[in-house]
Structure formats: C-alpha cells, structure tokens
Amino acid sequence: MAKTNIVEGVFGINKPIGMSSAQVIRDCQNYFNPSELFAPLLKQERDTREKESHYQQKRRRNIKRQLQVKIGHGGTLDPLATGVLILGVGKGTKSLQGFLTCTKTYETVVLFGASTDTYDRVGRIIKKGKYDDITRAAVEKVLESFRGKYKQMPPLYSALKMDGKPLYEYAREGKPIPREIATRDVEVTEMELVEWYEPGTHNHRWPAEEAEQAEKNLVDSVWRVAKKQATSEDEPGKLTLKQEEEETKALAEYQSNKRQAEERVDGLVREDSQLPKRRKVEQANQPEPMMSGALGDLPPVSRGSNLVPPPPAPNTPPPWEGKGPPAARIRMTVTSGFYVRSLCHDLGEKLGCGAMMAELSRTRQGIFVLGGNNCLEYTDLTLGEAVWAPKVGSMMDLWNNRGTVTVPSASKPAEPSAKTEPAEPAPEPAKAEKAEEKLVEEKIVEEKLALKVENAAEEAALGVASASADAVVEILLEAEEPPKAEVA
C-alpha cells in the first residue's frame, strides 16, 4: 500500500468520566489495530521490524512484540475528569511533549462545606465547616486572589514523587514526608464563576466515608505547611516541638491500624498495576487482531474503566440535614502544572468552610477544543469504523496540513510567486506563436528560392535566352535579402 495512505498525527478525544488516560489509549488501540484505516501504518511497522537484527528483536519485551498502533497522550486527566485528552498516533507521538506546556481551559464544580484527603468527591472526609453564610458574592471576592501568578501547593494524593516515591504512598503507609512539598509557580489568565447553585438546587454530594484520625493528622500537617508557604515570603520553618510530637503520635497510631485498613483511592492517581509476568506472556502470544467488525460494541471492561463511582441517584438521601451547602461552576484558563483540585480545596480554606471538586472537564488544551472538528467523541468508537474512521482521518489531515502551513519558510516565499507568476504567462504564448510563424515563413521563402534556382538552371541547360547567368546571379542575390520583404 502506498505510503501516502499511512495515517498518523495528533487528535483530541473526549475522555469519559471514571476512566484513566491509559485506558483510553488501550481502548483506542483495540479499535485501531484491526481497522483498515491503520492497516498501512501497521504494515510499515511490520516491514521495519523485519529489517531489524536478531539482537534488536530479542531486546523487545514480550508485551512490546505485539504489533499494534503506537499511541500516546499529551497530558493525563484524572479519572474523575472528562474532556479533551490529546492523543498522538505514529509519528504524531513526537509532538505530544509540546502540549505539556500549553495553556488549558477547565470547568469545575466546587462543592462547599467539607474537605477530603484527595481534594475531590471520591476521597474521604477530613473535616467539615459551616456554610450557611457562603454566598456567590463571597466566593467571587475570594476568587480574585487566585487570578494572575501565585504559588500553588500540589495535592498530597497526586502522582508527584519525592525521593523517587509518590507522595500518596507516604500518606497511605503513614510514613513522614522526607521534606516539605515544594510549591510551584502557576498562572490563571482567566477565571469566571459561570453558574451558582443555591442549597437544595443541585445533586452534588460529599463522600459518605470519613478518614481515620491518623490520616487526618497527616493531611492536616501538610496543609499547615501550605499555609505557611502561602503567607510567608521566606522559607517556611520547621514544625514546633509540640506539633512534631502530635505528628509522631498520629503516625504511630496509623502504623498500628494500617494492616486492617483497606486500600483507598486505588487507581485514582496512578495507572493499573503491571500485569504478572505470566499474563504478559499470554497476551504476547495472542494472535494478531482480526479485521474490523469482530469487536463488540464496547471494549473489554478493565480496572481502568470504572475508577470513579457514579453520581448518586436524585432520590439518594444527602449526608447533611436541611438544604445542604451551595455549589459553584467555575471556568478558568491556566498554565501547565495547575491543579484544579488544589484550587477547589484552597478556595474552601480561604472561605473557612472547606470545599472539594465535584466535577471537572477540560474544555480546551492548546488548539484542541471540546466539540471542535479536531476532537473525537469517545462514543463514536463504539459506533464502528464506518463512523469513527472518516472523522479520525479528517482530524489527522487537519493536523498535518496545519503543520505545513505554519512553517514560515514554506509560506513566505510563496507569496511573491503567487503575485508575479500569473502576470508573466500571458505574453509568453504570443511570443512563441510569432516565433513559430516566423520559422514557417522563412522555410517557405527558402523553398521558393530553391525552386527558382532549380528552374533557372534547367532553363539555362535547355538554351533558353532569358535564363542567362545574370538571371541566376540575380536570383541568388534575392535570397540574401531580409525575409520580411517576402513575408510582408
């Protein structure tokens, strides 16, 4: 198949709630691998591997020996979040690094009145606060402090690592953090409260479960550090002796009970655990995928597909008395490295009531916009290749064409030629036509002269008086005159 039929590039997909970013990639591969659209790309990869040496082929891990469409993402999304997830296919994966530093637009729903260990509705309650006096005006006033540049503390339950170990493992194991969590410089270029939900007018809920006291103390100690860093320009100091004693006691208590505690928030901050070696080998020995049509309506359900519990039913009793707390929908445009969960938590801290992230949607990342012509709906995959293939192919063309148009060296030189080239061709055909006519006429004159010379010679040979030598000379001299005399 011709190389021009190879489809690769970058496109966006609307990630569903409850699914990890890695699972979206696996699902796309389940649909792309047996498709006709990506068959040339897989053939190219197969031909490349056949040219590899035996040593290169042996170095591949079993799981990597499977021939499948190469896909990567340009910035992960929490399982709780939906919206734009940028995917690169084939050579498009080389462009994904650039999307990690681009600006992003989010819409989030903040639920007031309680804080959780994960800063969102799927964690466990750390503390609750009064929310009767929380109004829209009060929230908008506090939001002013988050506009522009400031230092943000990442959540404790995040994928960030310290000394090679994720922070959430320190919290879950009850071990002290080796050093203070470094804040990061972030910037909010736009922020707007787009919708206000009065108490009793929404279906957002706190989680029903509360964290253990030891975990509450550990999380609270991290929050104290965050407050110090936010209120002081100097380096934050160490905890006082009394605070250290309280923390040590809380950690000891947590250590004694951690064996009986269930694993919490598993999969929310990391991808699925690596498969056992035997299972990896089994997957590697599986036959190549069948052609499109053999798949069912949905890909196989795995741990990465249902990481977040669904929202409660409308008739579910709320975990509070009365109408409950208010909520707000906030839209923001931020720089890379920004944690929306941290914003929701910090907003509740400044209001003194606590808050958590109830919903999150990334509506834009770079040039990819939710609902745009370069962002695929995840549900389109389940409708079959006849539906998603034309859309994905169009998005790849859109990406590749955009890449060539934006190159300065390719666009600027083309402008002068576009203006001067059309004006020149008009006279060229006329000149060529006249030159051709001139050659034909000259040839006709030569033939006439040759005919006169031939006739004169013939007449001289026959003794005709008029065909004298002077006549022949006169004819030859006539041939030396400019051809315009004949043409005219």
How many CB atoms within 10 Å of residue 227? 13
226, two tokens = 């965050």
Contact predicate 80/357, CB 8 Å: yes
Please count the helices (runs of H) and the strands (runs of E) in the chain.
15, 14
- Alpha-helical regions (H) of 54-185: 54-59, 136-143, 167-173
Phi, psi of 72 (to 5 degrees): -140, 170
For residue 191, CA distances in Å to 32, 144, 326 come to 38, 9, 19
Is 78 an annotated catalytic residue? yes
Name the residue among 333, 281, 10, 302 with its Cα closest to residue 146: 333
Give the 3-state secondary structure of residue 115: strand
* Active-site residue, from 78, 117, 120, 346: 78
Distance from C-alpha of 91 to C-alpha of 70, rounded to nearest angstrom: 9
Distance CA 70, CA 63 (A): 13
The widest CA-to-CA distance across the chain, in whole angstroms, is 145
Crossing angle of helices 340-351 and 213-231, in 10° steps, is 90
DSSP string over 406-422: T-HHHHTTHHHHHHHTT
Neighbours of 160 (CB within 10 A): 16
Which residue type occupies 396?
M
CA-based end-to-end distance of the chain: 62
Residue 290 main-chain phi, psi, to 5 deg: -75, 170
- Compute the distance between CA of residue 134 and CA of residue 347 in angstroms, rounded to an integer: 12
Please count the CA atoms within 13 angstroms of the CA of 352 that sit on its side-chain side: 6
- The answer to whether the CB of 171 falls within 8 A of the CB of 117 is yes
Q: How far apart are CA 189 and CA 186, in angstroms?
A: 10
CB 101 within 8 A of CB 20: no
User: From CA 14, how far away is CA 16, in angstroms rounded?
Assistant: 6
Residues identified as active-site: 78
